[in-house]
Amino acid sequence: MEFENKVFLVTGGSRGLGKAIVKKLAQNGATVVFTYRSNKDAAQQVISELSSENKDSTGTVVAIQSDVSESESAVKAIDKVVDLFGKIDGLVNNAGITQDSPFYKMSDDSWNSVINTNLNGVFYLTKAYLGRAIRNGGGKIVNMSSVSGIKGLKGQANYCASKGGLIALTKSLAVEYARFNVQVNAVAPGYIATEMVESLADKVKQKISKTIPQQRLGKPQEIANVTSFLLSQQCNYMTGQTITIDGGLTA
């Protein structure tokens, strides 16, 4: 029970990578609060799945509706965790969206909503969390970036800018908050089999798989394993790093 007595907040935990992370942490004894934007049924499903899997050893899991792209809502989410459980040991900034289009056709709305969710959302949550972390004697933050933040991808100017921004933000916060015992790292997944990728046309998915040296999409659990390690006490001397998990895509 690596995470017994630990409390984590995971944004966007109702499906995909966030769901796998919530499960991994809870299965290791953590108390986990996760946010979702709109899909309450999916959030409830995560809790039901966990409680039917292993009641005795699984930590408490709570879902709250919160839009990361709204500053007030993000602050309330942090306050809610502290009200419920007295502290937060770690924050996983996972929630994210794509709105792809060729750059010359990209609307202001499309640009702004991706930046607001993927980058500003992390700013709001992290700002609200850091004060709590310092009072708690330290903390850990994992930001969900992407290989799109490392290499350019056609049709993803807004998404690439948001995920590249996250890598830079991760380094900056790591340096600024090291003296408060806060470690800040990022994960950069390649193509992982979640709704975000499954919604692509079969032809596109086949083409993608061919470009990956391991010739397959990643599994959400493979991202959850590394995220869990970054939140653990085994990882206290690593900060400001971005761990790429992509089957060799960027190698």
By beta-carbon proximity to ligand NDP, the closer residue of 31 and 94 is 94
Structure token digits, residue 54: 């292993």
Work out how close the CB of 56 gets to ligand NDP at its nearest, in angstroms, rounded to a whole number: 27
Residues of this chain that interact with ligand NDP (CB under 6 A) are 11-18, 35-39, 42, 66-69, 94-97, 117, 144, 146, 189, 191-192, 194-197
Among all chains, which residue has been given the structure tokens 């942490």? Answer: 25
Structure token digits, residue 79: 């306050």
Task: Give the CA dihedral 116, 144, 122, 62, nearest 10 degrees.
Answer: 110
Please report, for residues 11, 116, 165, 231, 246, the alpha-carbon distance to residue 111 in angstroms, rounded to integers and kept in the order given.
21, 9, 14, 31, 25
Work out how close the CB of 137 gets to ligand NDP at its nearest, in angstroms, rounded to a whole number: 28
By beta-carbon proximity to ligand NDP, the closer residue of 97 and 136 is 97
By beta-carbon proximity to ligand NDP, the closer residue of 96 and 164 is 96
d(CA 229, CA 191): 20
Work out how close the CB of 179 gets to ligand NDP at its nearest, in angstroms, rounded to a whole number: 28
Q: CB within 8 A of 152, min separation 6: which ones?
A: 160
Residue 43 burial (10 A CB sphere; 0-12, 13-18, 19+): buried
By beta-carbon proximity to ligand NDP, the closer residue of 16 and 247 is 16
Whether 104 is a known active-site residue: answer: no
By beta-carbon proximity to ligand NDP, the closer residue of 96 and 139 is 96
Please report, for residues 99, 100, 140, the alpha-carbon distance to residue 105 in angstroms, rounded to integers and kept in the order given.
12, 10, 39
Work out how close the CB of 136 gets to ligand NDP at its nearest, in angstroms, rounded to a whole number: 24
d(CA 6, CA 28): 10
Work out how close the CB of 230 gets to ligand NDP at its nearest, in angstroms, rounded to a whole number: 14
Per annotation, catalytic residue among 124, 129, 159, 191: 159
- As annotated, the active-site residues are 159
